[in-house]
Amino acid sequence: MRVPLSWLREYVDLPAGESGRDVADKLVALGLEVETVEQLGADLKGPLVVGRVLEIEELEGFKKPIRFCKVDVGDANGTGEPQEIVCGARNFEVDDKVVVILPGGVLPGPFEIAERKTYGRVSRGMICSARELGMGDDHDGIIVLPIEAQIGADAIELLGLIDEVLDIAVTPDRGYCLSMRGVAREAAIAYGQPLRDPALLDVPDANSYGYPVLVEDTAGCDRFVARTVVGIDPEAPSPLWLQRRVQMGGMRPISLVVDVTNYVMLELGQPLHAYDRTRLQGAIVVRRAHEGETLTTLDDAERKPAREDLLICDNRGPIGLAGVMGGASTEIGVETTDIVIEAAHFDPVSIARTARRHKLGSEASRRFERGVDPEAARAAAQRAVDLLAALGGERAQAEAGVTEVDAPREMVRIVLAADHAAKVAGVAYPRETVAQRLQEVGCSVEGIDELTVVPPTWRPDLTDPNDLAEEVIRLEGYEQVPSTLPQVPAGRGLTADQRRRRRIGRALAGAGYAEVLDYPFVGQSAFDDLGLAEDDARRRTVVLVNPISEEEPALRTTLLPGLLGTLRRNLGRGNGDLALFESGVVFLPNASTPRAPQLAVDRRPTDEELTGLAAALPDQPQRVAVVLAGEREHSGWWGKGRPQVWADAIEAARVVADAVGVELTVRQDQYEPWHPGRCAALVATAADGTERVVGHAGELHPRVLKALHLPERVAAMELDLDLLTADLDGEHLPQAGHISSYPVATQDVALVVDASVPAATVEAALVEGAGALLESVRLFDVYTGAQVAEGGKSLAYALRFRAPDRTLTVEEATAARDAAVALATERTGAVLRGA
């Protein structure tokens, strides 16, 4: 809303020296958002005067029409002689009154005016257009003033060229400030001055001989006022003051009728619409749209109203989208003399939906959807009638008929404890202060300790006690509310689960992995790329009602799609050696999950509703996943590098398990999207001996890599942290082992087993067979070749033995090794190599 300071002063007695910036500061303190204060005419300097065109000489021989004019400017030029001016505009004639700037003057820009020779003549000044004076963008012709303008008079004052305009960003709850009346009310409160309300007019009562109106949908239109003005001179211009105020309000002057309706809307906040009465056929009807109806609006677009749209109709059908835009069939034309003025109150939600449905925002819909004062309709219609009768020519007059359709409205009453605002703000507000502030915004207040408050009709946003408390607080001053930091209870740190997740992140980062955060949204195409079967449980997703992207409408059930997408982007940017990890939740819908209840927005949910909402949530287990590509160890002078393979993905899983103090068992498996021959199941063993698969690791299937445009070998791992730590009670920290002062005894053993036997199975047998003296076991060589039978492989292990209380003898270490080999032979068919 653009608010000219000169216009605002008509309704509030502002201090004489108060600038636009001063007023803006006051309004900002009350909660209004004043974006800018525009200084109109700041670089304009006279002499700028009214002149009368005496002679016009058409100059020939130039590419465009040029006129050499003599203009009477009275004594403004110091000589009284006609001023000679060269001008290219052609919209004025001899004896017309125009705006002339004389040499020495400065136009906005700034653009200094001086005598100069042009087109073979000397031009001593300029005849000005609206754009040259900073009044708007109209540059089609110069300004032609009314005949009564006095020659030589100061045009700066006449046109109101020097002013300050406050540009206010009106929030949705302050619709009343989309008018001079609303802003003036706020300014009156800010300065403690009375308001001269422009809506306080003498309005005749409704009678039976006004223009007929029928409102069929009183829910959509609860008030409709119609007034008629006849005998308007179609050529009657809008006076300069009216045009200037419409311009400063951000609108373009068009014609007297349109300018008057726009002026009243800016002044009172009530949108108006004018119909050519001769083009109306029958009574005006307000109703919802019928199937198949069409309407051509004032922008010459043919529209098909939806059944929910509220329409203005006559006997022919629709003649306007109610509260949004009128129809072309009853548009005010160049010959219109008789008009019907509409001042109505429409349902805000209905108007907002219609404007958005047709993508047709207008100044009227902008006000209606924020809430217009229903009591302003009568005053706005009267104001428009008075202006048109006064400015529309000698024959213009208002007819005596007054039509008013008014549906009953329920009066809002709010019960407010007198100390409620004080409790909300933490500031003591006496009962008298609360009542005074509420009365200043237009409320009626009754009661002592418990107040009964009736908000004014122009404040539909005041609906509950907190709204009223906000009014008291803002008018008393937000700066009076103390800044108090919330008291955080001592002793509450991270939970055991949070500390565990952070420890996992630090462990992976320390192992060379970089953490990433991906969007938790996927589409079915991501599962197609991973090669998941149609009945795979991971394809069952929670689908969003309003997704950010229609291509990714569901919540993820695995971390791999996001990680692989990040891997692909980094590879495309030249980062070839990557080790990435992500920790986060996935969303697993349950077939037995009930439907979420629809919660009300006007109250706190009940305990039953909150319980139902919690039950409707999907399972959200915590996962960690890694992806690897490129080289794990880089090439250099020391030799060839080593690529990242399935073993590195398994090692990442062990890093995670070690960080939480859980031991993993690795077993061969087949699970999409991993390569069937390079996939491991990660198994954790519970205290009761039961085993559960907590994740998978290995290299991805070649078809998956091809679908995702990834390198030939990419390794990945995904672990379910909730399953991994299910047996841990609270925070389970890995315990450091006892450091023995006794020496270690190392025994190496090479076992030949069938190629199908997993090394992990052999290792488990060695550990169990060696007993308590075994400190560690490490696989250091895998061999297949001429010295091993076909279909077999040699696994070489380094066994470390140590006793906590003595130095082991060679016999003790050998006996433990032999026991380990014996159990491995029994379980896996292993044969000691070389035996």
pLDDT digits (tens, 9 = 90+) for 337-350: 999 999 999 999 99
The helix or strand, by DSSP H or E, that contains position 378, with its residue range, turns out to be helix 376-391
CA 81 to chain centre: 63
Q: Which residues contact 764 (CB under 8 A, 6 or more apart)?
A: 665
- Predicted pLDDT at 732: 61
Residue 530 CA to residue 527 CA, distance in Å, equals: 5
Tokens, residue 24: 């803006």
* Confidence band for 731, pLDDT divided at 50, 70 and 90: low
Q: Which residues contact 471 (CB under 8 A, 6 or more apart)?
A: 437, 438, 441, 462
Residue 255 CA to residue 544 CA, distance in Å, equals: 51
- Predicted pLDDT at 759: 86
Residue 653 CA to residue 527 CA, distance in Å, equals: 23
- Angle between helices 180-191 and 20-29 in degrees, nearest 10: 80
* Confidence band for 730, pLDDT divided at 50, 70 and 90: low
At 315, the amino acid letter reads N
The structure tokens 């009564």 sit at 148
Half-sphere exposure of 413 (CA within 13 A, CB side): 8
Residue 48 CA to residue 283 CA, distance in Å, equals: 51
pLDDT digits (tens, 9 = 90+) for 435-456: 999 999 999 999 999 999 999 9
Residue 726 CA to residue 585 CA, distance in Å, equals: 16
Residue 754 CA to residue 697 CA, distance in Å, equals: 23
In the three-class reduction of DSSP (H, G, I as helix; E, B as strand; rest coil), residue 243 is classed as helix
Q: With contact defined as beta carbons under 8 Å apart, do 91 and 142 qualify?
A: yes
Tokens, residue 603: 């109250």
pLDDT digits (tens, 9 = 90+) for 503-533: 999 999 999 999 999 999 999 999 999 999 9
- pLDDT above 90: residue 6: yes
- pLDDT above 90: residue 240: no
User: How is the beta sheet containing 674-685 ordered, strand by strand?
Assistant: 514-515, 578-585, 622-629, 714-720, 691-700, 674-685, 664-668
* Confidence band for 835, pLDDT divided at 50, 70 and 90: low
- pLDDT above 90: residue 594: no
Query: Per-residue pLDDT averaged across 15-32, rounded?
Result: 93
pLDDT digits (tens, 9 = 90+) for 126-174: 999 888 888 877 666 888 898 888 999 999 988 888 899 999 999 999 9
Tokens, residue 76: 């403004």
In the three-class reduction of DSSP (H, G, I as helix; E, B as strand; rest coil), residue 89 is classed as coil
Residue 596 CA to residue 455 CA, distance in Å, equals: 37
Q: Which residues contact 709 (CB under 8 A, 6 or more apart)?
A: 568
- pLDDT above 70: residue 28: yes
- pLDDT above 70: residue 595: yes
Residue 55 CA to residue 121 CA, distance in Å, equals: 15
Query: Per-residue pLDDT averaged across 696-702, rounded?
Result: 95
pLDDT digits (tens, 9 = 90+) for 294-314: 999 999 999 999 999 999 999
CA 439 to chain centre: 35
pLDDT digits (tens, 9 = 90+) for 86-136: 998 888 999 999 999 999 999 988 889 999 998 989 999 999 988 888 887
Residue 57 CA to residue 735 CA, distance in Å, equals: 105
Q: With contact defined as beta carbons under 8 Å apart, do 377 and 345 qualify?
A: yes
* Confidence band for 411, pLDDT divided at 50, 70 and 90: confident
- pLDDT above 90: residue 41: no
At 356, the amino acid letter reads R
Half-sphere exposure of 613 (CA within 13 A, CB side): 9
Q: pTM of this prediction?
A: 0.67
* Confidence band for 733, pLDDT divided at 50, 70 and 90: low
- pLDDT above 90: residue 656: yes
* Confidence band for 179, pLDDT divided at 50, 70 and 90: very high
Residue 693 CA to residue 719 CA, distance in Å, equals: 9
Tokens, residue 413: 């009453």
- Predicted pLDDT at 109: 81
Peptide bond into 553 cis (omega under 30): no
Q: Cα dihedral angle (773, 778, 780, 784), rounded to 10 degrees?
A: 90
Q: With contact defined as beta carbons under 8 Å apart, do 109 and 43 qualify?
A: yes
Q: With contact defined as beta carbons under 8 Å apart, do 54 and 117 qualify?
A: no
- pLDDT above 90: residue 735: no
Computed over every residue of the chain, the mean pLDDT equals: 91
In the three-class reduction of DSSP (H, G, I as helix; E, B as strand; rest coil), residue 492 is classed as coil
- Predicted pLDDT at 492: 73
